[in-house]
């Protein structure tokens, strides 16, 4: 998957799972401060991303994730491993 495809899929997940308006989902949007995700939401999102990538995501891979772009980068890294 390309970064654009990952961004589009992530945006779709955030809209469906957490009812976040599409216009709020930008690469710079901060997951916890701006999109109001909490730790449980983050776990749910990681589970969906594991389904998408077909790979187990280690918690330490997502410890430094703060923005939508960070998530896209980590998922892209998983596809290129």
What domains does the chain contain, in order, with CATH numbers?
3-80 (1.10.1200.10)
> Exposed e or buried b for every residue in 41-59, given b needs 16+ CB within 10 A?
bbeebbebbeebbeeebee
Q: What is the pLDDT along the chain (81 residues), one digit of tens a residue?
A: 999 999 999 999 999 999 999 999 999 999 999 999 998 999 999 999 999 999 988 878 788 899 999 999 999 998 887
Quick check: pTM over 0.85?
Answer: yes
Tell me how far the alpha carbon of residue 42 is from its chain's centroid.
8
**Shortest CA distance to 71 belongs to which of 5, 2, 6?**
6
Distance of alpha carbon 10 from alpha carbon 28, whole angstroms: 13
Q: Which helix (H) or strand (E) holds 50?
A: helix 39-53
């Amino acid at each position: 998957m390309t970064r654009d495809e990952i961004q589009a899929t992530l945006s779709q997940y955030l809209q469906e799972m957490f009812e976040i308006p599409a216009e709020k989902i930008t690469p710079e949007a901060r997951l916890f401060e701006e999109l109001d995700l909490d730790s449980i939401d983050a776990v749910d999102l990681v589970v969906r991303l594991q389904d998408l990538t077909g790979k187990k995501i280690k918690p330490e891979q997502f410890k430094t994730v703060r923005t939508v772009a960070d998530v896209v980068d980590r998922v892209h890294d998983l596809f290129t491993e």
